[in-house]
Homo-oligomer: A and B are copies of this chain.
Amino acid sequence: MYKLLKTCGRAKRGEFHTPHGVIQTPVFMNVGTLAAIKGALSTEDLEQIKCQVELSNTYHLHLRPGDKIVKQLGGLHKFMVWDRPILTDSGGFQVFSLTSLRKITEEGVHFSSHIDGRKIFMGPEESMQIQSNLASTIAMAFDECIGIPAERPYVEASVERTTRWLERCKKEMTRLNSLEDTINKKQMLFGINQGAIYADIRIEHAKRISELDLDGYAVGGLAVGETHAEMYHILEEVVPFLPQKKPTYLMGVGTPENILESVERGIDFFDCVLPARNGRHAHVYTNAGKLNLLNAKFELDETPIDATCDCPVCRRYTKAYIRHLFKAKEMLAMRLCVMHNLYFFNTMMEEIRLALDENRFPEYKKAKLEGFSASQRQIIP
């Protein structure tokens, strides 16, 4: 159940009540594809860096260790020892990324495992069954994530099918939630809006899926090649046609700048692999822009990554030490930077919520963006 606490223009400040606790929104979900955050972060670490929601991937967990194994082990929460909310994607995005290995039909998608080439079929029912086995807090509907650019006739037909698939997802989840041996009988379902960059198709789709009265609604198929301006435009067009009193989720987005702009356009949920991936490559976020810790100028730098940050890494370690760890190929380097980066994102969301609470989001957003660009010299080329 979503409770809209406050608005500021289209920006929303909400609370989403789930069987695994309340999520304060806007929120950034921390991505642990295979039931672990890359960079050797444990779920104990996640608790230290203000993570509210962990996100795992249906496709990857279906292949390894297998969703039936996870079910036998009591579901994802018990498996990875995390008692707060978990969102699982539907596998759609990964399946559709395997362009050369798949075939789409009305029933679903035939594709080959990227690990061993094994033939797999996944449709709406299969995706729901896998996510029910994983027992995540929130399941995502199985959709077709359309690449950009895409021809209008293809997009129209695909979106129609995604709607039919969504109806099948809802029906299957209702069935699964009623079964005796289902671990999370209150699993929630988010639908996904598609339509590439055709605003009218997206709006029509948004209206139709809104009628299904789901637990939340995502905008999918963005951040897949279009410009930022196109993405923001789509949000401006489509978000007004998604229920304001349900959480909205912009899938796979994005940079701190993207998040600030999208909150302004009414988005509640975000997720992105960027902070963890950048951290593993020594790229770290600060309130004055990104830094590349491999830069020689940090060799003797005794200050933390960000002097204004109170994450477990900045409270303890210097840039010089972390730079040395990267040079020496010590895994600890990655862990420290991933922890800092996720903390940075989670803290920015906390700041956004406070700014919304205190009716000063526009001022906060302006100051934050100015901070990022103030120190152009520090931005990674």
> Are A81 and B321 neighbours in the complex by a CB distance under 8 Å?
yes
> Are A300 and B72 neighbours in the complex by a CB distance under 8 Å?
yes
Decide yes or no: A34 and B321 within 8 Å by CB, A42-B335, A312-B44, A316-B44 being known contacts.
no
A159 at the interface (CB under 8 A from B): no
> Are A331 and B72 neighbours in the complex by a CB distance under 8 Å?
no
CB contacts under 8 Å to B, within A285-313, are 299-300, 302, 312
| Residues of chain B with a CB closer than 8 A to A318's CB | 73, 79
Stretch at the interface among A92-100, A218-226, A322-330, A368-376: A322-330
Of B36, B79, B312, the residue contacting A328 (CB under 8 A) is: B36
> Are A336 and B42 neighbours in the complex by a CB distance under 8 Å?
yes
A174–B362 alpha-carbon span in the complex (Å):
64
Decide yes or no: A327 and B65 within 8 Å by CB, A40-B334, A73-B318 being known contacts.
yes
CB contacts under 8 Å to B, within A100-149, are none
21 pairs, A vs B, C-beta closer than 8 Å: A34-B328, A35-B325, A38-B330, A38-B331, A40-B330, A40-B335, A42-B336, A44-B316, A60-B328, A64-B327, A64-B328, A65-B320, A65-B327, A69-B300, A69-B324, A72-B300, A73-B300, A73-B318, A79-B324, A81-B321, A331-B334
**Which 7 A-B residue pairings sit nearest by Cβ, starting from the closest?**
A40-B40, A40-B331, A34-B328, A40-B335, A36-B330, A65-B324, A36-B332
